[in-house]
Structure 1
Amino acid sequence: MSTWLFDLGNTRLKCAPLNDDGTIGGIVALDHLDGGIADAMARALPARIEVAHLASVASTETTVEVLDALVSRCRRISRARTQARMDGVRIAYARPDKLGVDRFLTLLAARARGGAALVCGVGTALTVDLLDADGLHHGGRIAPSPRVMRDALQARARQLVPDGGTYSEFAADTEDGLVSGCEGAAIALVERSLAEATQRLGAPPTLYVHGGGVRELRAHLSSARWVPGFVLEGLARWAMAEATRPAGLA
């Protein structure tokens, strides 16, 4: 039986097979900003899949397009939802549906690795979540990613270039100042969160970073562990937990 995992974000769809031991196989990343996601899936995926597990934070339109593409090749499709408790994780939100499923899944992945964790995702948004060694989620932060900061500035001030520049602590021209300010804001947020987490827990948690916008920040976060498939890793945990959940339990 073939089982596949699908992580649908605002710019990319990541896909990977789920192995029998709960690990994930090779990851395929498909861009969908310009549409055509169904055709890209047809080229990249097997003709038939037994079970598909989908986690989506994309628009309803894009999610439906992916679901339609899966219906034509899958016997069964399940969609991951944030749960108040699962696989040793207890989330801080009073309303679980308000915590993005991608953030929830990375908490499952961090819990499976053991120990306290500060999880930082950089995509359209920059998110930070703290999980202690007992699996208790202490909440987190949400901010614009450096890419979105740069785009927002350029949208309000058209004379500013949307790309380019070299990071510097004190930049000597506008392009360098833009990239240094936007990336520096993200770095400072993560560093502040790590310092506060260390004070709260009494010891520094492991810092995990993931997402398409992490590459530019990693050089400035020396303690970070880069996990490019962290959402899929958590989705694998969700799929295995769902398979063993007694019928009728939420």
Structure 2
Amino acid sequence: MSFLAIDIGNTRLKWAVYDAMHPGARLLAHGAVFIENIDTLAEDEWKDLAAPAAMIGCCVAGDAVRRRVEEQIEELWDFPPVWVVASSQEDEVVNGYDHPSRLGADRWVAMIGARWHLLNAGRPRPALVVMVGTAVTVDALDASGHFLGGLILPGHGIMLRALESGTAGLRVPTGEVRDFPTNTSDALTTGGTFAIAGAIDRMYRNLTARCGEPPSCWLTGGAGWKMAPHLGQEFELVETLIFDGLLHIAQRRAQAKLAR
């Protein structure tokens, strides 16, 4: 029984088909499209896929984008789309947001994926979950799986566009990260990278002080690999963290349904 997982972010839709409904299942197919191109999924990337038995996904791009994806799923296959939204609790993770339903679904699912990895390895300890994409999120879990809170800050692209629109003469090529930049391109790239790294380091120290031990650190997102070399802490780079969370949620919900 193959299973479709979908992650709709602010810039791209990522999808993957697995041979079973659990984290670690064998990957059968995968792909990604920019949001402006999602109307071609049914006639392009999904056209020749063997029909999955079910689907689960998360979406932060808005209702209109989600509906455009749903229409293509319904056109191709005979199952209802299932979308994860943040709730007060999902399995091992408790949501400490002031208004739990307002937490981004991708952040919620990524934390659930990180918690699954920790428990699967037999290490229930605090966790710092960082997603680097259009925006950057830095979220903290204590050792019991309680979400304590987190940060949202602009990704590299948004930072650069803000500087371009707010200053004169800063339309320059992307530079390199340098310890001591000596040109504007490198200064902009290094400034954005160090700003993100500094926010991550501050949350790392906050979580260590709160829990009395250093957290396990997880890095994901489309630009996670770009940040990895510039972080002061040791991070586990898991590009499939959201898919792992989605598969774990689907598995646990199916098990709960059978147990009723």
TM-score normalised by structure 2 residue count: 0.88
Give how far 1:26 is off: 4.9
User: Identity of paired residues, percent?
Assistant: 28
Structure 1 segments unaligned to the other structure (5+ residues): none
Is 1:208 paired with 2:212? no
Query: Could you say which residue in structure 2 is the equivalent of 1:143?
Result: 153
Structure 2 segments unaligned to the other structure (5+ residues): 119-123
Is 1:39 paired with 2:40? yes
Query: Could you say which residue in structure 1 is the equivalent of 2:180?
Result: 170
Give how far 1:49 is off: 2.8
Is 1:17 paired with 2:17? yes
SS state of the match for residue 138, structure 1? strand
More displaced 10-residue stretch of structure 1: 98-107 or 208-217 = 208-217
Give how far 1:179 is off: 0.5
Query: Could you say which residue in structure 2 is the equivalent of 1:223?
Result: 234
CA contact (8 A) 1:127 1:143 kept: yes
Is 1:130 paired with 2:134? no
Distance 1:62 1:243, change over 3 A: same
Distance in 2 separating the partners of 1:138 and 1:178? 32
Query: Could you say which residue in structure 2 is the equivalent of 1:199?
Result: 209
TM-score normalised by structure 1 residue count: 0.91
Give how far 1:27 is off: 5.9
2:189 to 165, 179, 187: 179
Distance 1:112 1:73, change over 3 A: same
Give how far 1:246 is off: 4.6
Query: Could you say which residue in structure 2 is the equivalent of 1:57?
Result: 60
Distance in 2 separating the partners of 1:95 and 1:245? 26
Amino acid at match of 1:36: N
Distance in 2 separating the partners of 1:226 and 1:217? 10
CA contact (8 A) 1:57 1:101 kept: yes
Distance in 2 separating the partners of 1:225 and 1:241? 24
Query: Could you say which residue in structure 1 is the equivalent of 2:243?
Result: 232
Alignment root-mean-square deviation, CA: 2.0
Equivalenced residues, count: 247
Distance 1:26 1:119, change over 3 A: farther
